Amino acid sequence: MALKPCCRILFHGRNSAFYGFPSPKCHLPYTNSQSSFRFNYAHYPKLYSNLPRLSGFGCVSDRTRKPFCAPSLNWSQSRVLYRTCNGGVGRDVHVIRRVASDVFNYSTSIETVVNERNFERIYVQGANAEPLVVERFDKDESIGRDEESRAEDDGGNVNKDNSKGLHTAGVLNSVKEESAVEKEAWKLLQNAVVSYCGNPIGTVAANDPADKQPLNYDQVFLRDFVPSALAFLLKGEAEIVRNFLLHTLQLQSWEKTVDCYSPGQGLMPASFKVRSVPLDENKFEEVLDPDFGESAIGRVAPVDSGLWWIILLRAYGKITGDYTLQERVDVQTGIKLILNLCLSDGFDMFPTLLVTDGSCMIDRRMGIHGHPLEIQALFYSALRCSREMLSADEGSKNLVRAINDRLSALSFHVREYYWVDMKKINEIYRYKTEEYSTDATNKFNIYPEQIPHWLVDWIPEKGGYLIGNLQPAHMDFRFFTLGNLWSIVSSLGTPRQNKAVLNLIEDKWDDLMGHMPIKICYPALEYEEWRIITGSDPKNTPWSYHNGGSWPTLLWQFTLACMKMGRPELARKAVDLAEKRLPLDSWPEYYDTRNGKFIGKQARLYQTWSIAGYLTSKMLLDNPEIASLLYWEEDYELLEICVCALRDSGRIKCSRGAAKSQILV
């Protein structure tokens, strides 16, 4: 008889998270008595850090001290076994009960606070072995009841009750006969599906059987899964997306496991792998092993993961009509943790998110540390998504207010200071420097000498774009495609700016599309710049990979942007281009050279998000109504807030009367 794998989650950290929820398809004899044990430890960091040493932990921390690291043989592999199937039952019951009891001995409450505005406090209530329920301080009876009933559907039972509401059939208005290329793409996408305890949970990044060194391309990347998820959702296959959202939620961490340092709670992993771990007596269990950057090349922080997770959660609701998922208490808490992390105060002076290099799709050194556009556009979208999804109650009122404030400040900042077109470049060209005052025109002290030579020739009469990054005395004038496309999709840009970005792409078609859509950024860093900014990265040589390579996956975002702006013909042109080459070239990850002529030097073949990006583009083009669920129009109320805030603070005088003119465009 084939053994069923058991299910758990691996944590490499010293004070790693663990969970007390049953996993799908692993029904244990004690399910009834334990099924109400639905406390998600991942969401209770302080609580967790107060736990005494448990088997598998190499690090102990208490309420007042930072975790210290006790070397252990098992150090990098330290785990908490919180449940197994097939025989481990007795032991696991014991572990769970002991943890539950320890929880109550060592901690009573935690709170999450954003910007000291005390958005919401969450605490844990219960007694030994009693069901644990998440409640709010400002208790509202109906909310409590609601949450309890939602919490019945615990993190492990992700495929059951709530999927009843799924509109799994007939999602597409237009179901056309699939072409041979589409059929092939679907087959490849299905082959890339990863299962966990017998259920689909994501897709591997690449699935090339000939690749003997997959590195981490055999993992499920959160950002890579988004186009796969959309393709599945559009096809009416929602289960995999639901599983993905719930299981990655369980992986959500409050800790970084690099060099004894803990980050803010709410971080989502860059990727995870389903591992098979042998147990005694020829048994094995499946475990989810997340990577928060501690194994990633360059140890990069996956800032975009949580933002994508929120964006996908909204898309799931919109496409399936199943809003019960986003209403669940654990999901609501997950959203809040991500937001808390993004909205917490730091040393930052701008409404944009401050991040390290490589914290997004470009996940290695490329000179995008600071306030890269891609992160800002995803941040803006995630805020808009969250505002829609947060349950409207007293507990989230302050959070929603903070979201609105940030949305208006962020859009003002990006629209005003990231935007370049002929007129703006000419303004910068004539900037005075060293202006000391609150109403300086050249606020960031940009030296006109920074305007690169290529830009002077390149900028078209008609059209413009949002620059890649803005810091004191630094404008990164490179065109970054994902940030610009996602600014269109989310309406981070003004309607006029959004239109102008597409005009620019059309005007610069040969540069940005060439033989294969779409350049990840333009132009490439060359010579000294490449040496200094990338650190002589041999993978990011000029016009390769992140440094001006062409990435087919960006096709779906381009399609969505074009559809929003009423230019589907532009998207079709790009899809046609890609369709001719992708299957012949075995669906590469990226293309090299100035106009995307060659398959990338180190590009993986059968790259899942290249395949899924193509399929999603095709389906979106055929179903404009569904596409319209995935983009946002201008929010005029936000603009009002922005103008009012400027007026109240006496700073209505901005360099281009931006807020007001933003309303007019």
CB 467 within 8 A of CB 476: yes
Total binding residues for ligand GLC by CB under 6 A?
6
Q: Which stretch binds ligand GLC (CB under 6 A): 111-119, 221-229, 285-293, 633-641?
A: 221-229
What part of residues 224-253 is at the interface with ligand GLC (CB under 6 A)?
A: 224
Q: Compute the least distance from the CB of residue 362 to ligand GLC, in Å.
A: 6
Q: Is residue 577 part of the contact set for ligand GLC (CB under 6 A)?
A: no
Q: Which amino acid is at 115?
A: N
Q: Compute the least distance from the CB of residue 507 to ligand GLC, in Å.
A: 27
Separation between Cα atoms, residue 511 and residue 429, nearest integer Å: 24
Q: Compute the least distance from the CB of residue 188 to ligand GLC, in Å.
A: 15
> Contacts from 605-608 at CB under 8 Å and sequence distance 24+?
605/206, 605/208, 605/210, 605/211, 606/188, 606/192, 606/206, 606/207, 606/208, 607/205, 607/206, 607/552, 607/553, 608/188, 608/189, 608/192, 608/203, 608/204, 608/205, 608/206, 608/207, 608/224, 608/228
Which residue reads 């900014």 in tokens?
Answer: 533
CB 315 within 8 A of CB 159: no
Looking from the CA of 391 toward its CB, the CA atoms found within 13 Å total: 24
| In the complex, residue closest to ligand GLC by CB | 205
Separation between Cα atoms, residue 346 and residue 370, nearest integer Å: 13
Q: Is residue 205 part of the contact set for ligand GLC (CB under 6 A)?
A: yes
548: closest CA among 522, 530, 510, 578? 522
Site map for ligand GLC, 267-306, x if CB under 6 A? ----------------------------------------
Give the residue with the Cβ less far from ligand GLC, 95 or 296. 296
Q: Compute the least distance from the CB of residue 302 to ligand GLC, in Å.
A: 9
Give the residue with the Cβ less far from ligand GLC, 205 or 459. 205
Q: Is residue 421 part of the contact set for ligand GLC (CB under 6 A)?
A: no
What part of residues 478-537 is at the interface with ligand GLC (CB under 6 A)?
A: none
CA dihedral 614, 619, 621, 622 (to 10 degrees): 150
Give the residue with the Cβ less far from ligand GLC, 221 or 380. 221
* DSSP state letters, 467-509: EEEEETTEEEEEEEHHHHHHHHHHT-S-HHHHHHHHHHHHHTH
Q: Is residue 194 part of the contact set for ligand GLC (CB under 6 A)?
A: no
Give the residue with the Cβ less far from ligand GLC, 485 or 658. 485
Give the residue with the Cβ less far from ligand GLC, 302 or 317. 302
Q: Which stretch binds ligand GLC (CB under 6 A): 116-124, 162-170, 217-225, 257-265?
A: 217-225
Element (H, E) at 615: helix 608-622
Q: Which residues pair with 291 in a beta bridge?
A: 271
Q: Compute the least distance from the CB of residue 269 to ligand GLC, in Å.
A: 12
Which residue reads 């605490």 in tokens?
Answer: 123
Give the residue with the Cβ less far from ligand GLC, 265 or 540. 540
Q: Which stretch binds ligand GLC (CB under 6 A): 55-63, 77-85, 220-228, 238-246?
A: 220-228
Q: Which stretch binds ligand GLC (CB under 6 A): 167-175, 216-224, 369-377, 390-398?
A: 216-224
Q: Are strands 419-421 and 133-136 parallel, antiparallel or unpaired?
A: unpaired
377: closest CA among 447, 267, 466? 466
Site map for ligand GLC, 351-370, x if CB under 6 A? ----------x-x-------
Kindly report the CA angle at 26 between 39 and 321, in degrees rounded to 5? 70
Other CB atoms closer than 10 Å to residue 336's CB: what's the count?
23
Q: Compute the least distance from the CB of residue 482 to ligand GLC, in Å.
A: 10
Give the residue with the Cβ less far from ligand GLC, 223 or 242. 223
Give the residue with the Cβ less far from ligand GLC, 44 or 221. 221
Q: Compute the least distance from the CB of residue 224 to ligand GLC, in Å.
A: 5
Q: Compute the least distance from the CB of residue 549 to ligand GLC, in Å.
A: 10
Tokens found for residue 127: 């007694």
Q: Compute the least distance from the CB of residue 361 to ligand GLC, in Å.
A: 4
> Contacts from 342-350 at CB under 8 Å and sequence distance 24+?
342/306, 342/307, 342/379, 342/382, 343/114, 343/115, 343/402, 343/403, 343/406, 344/114, 344/115, 344/264, 345/115, 345/116, 350/413, 350/470
Give the residue with the Cβ less far from ligand GLC, 153 or 224. 224
Q: Compute the least distance from the CB of residue 341 to ligand GLC, in Å.
A: 20
Separation between Cα atoms, residue 389 and residue 375, nearest integer Å: 20
Separation between Cα atoms, residue 376 and residue 379, nearest integer Å: 5
Give the residue with the Cβ less far from ligand GLC, 41 or 221. 221
Q: Compute the least distance from the CB of residue 607 to ligand GLC, in Å.
A: 7
Looking from the CA of 598 toward its CB, the CA atoms found within 13 Å total: 11
Q: Is residue 221 part of the contact set for ligand GLC (CB under 6 A)?
A: yes
Give the residue with the Cβ less far from ligand GLC, 363 or 592. 363
Q: Compute the least distance from the CB of residue 605 to ligand GLC, in Å.
A: 12
Q: Compute the least distance from the CB of residue 296 to ligand GLC, in Å.
A: 8
Q: Is residue 223 part of the contact set for ligand GLC (CB under 6 A)?
A: yes
Separation between Cα atoms, residue 354 and residue 472, nearest integer Å: 13
Helix (H) and strand (E) counts in the chain? 24, 16
SS3 306: helix
Give the residue with the Cβ less far from ligand GLC, 39 or 587. 587
Q: Compute the least distance from the CB of residue 209 to ligand GLC, in Å.
A: 17
Site map for ligand GLC, 456-475, x if CB under 6 A? --------------------
DSSP E strands in 44-155: the ranges are: 59-60, 68-69, 122-125, 133-136
Q: Which stretch binds ligand GLC (CB under 6 A): 219-227, 273-281, 497-505, 565-573?
A: 219-227
Give the residue with the Cβ less far from ligand GLC, 403 or 520. 520
Binding site for ligand GLC (CB under 6 A): 205, 221, 223-224, 361, 363
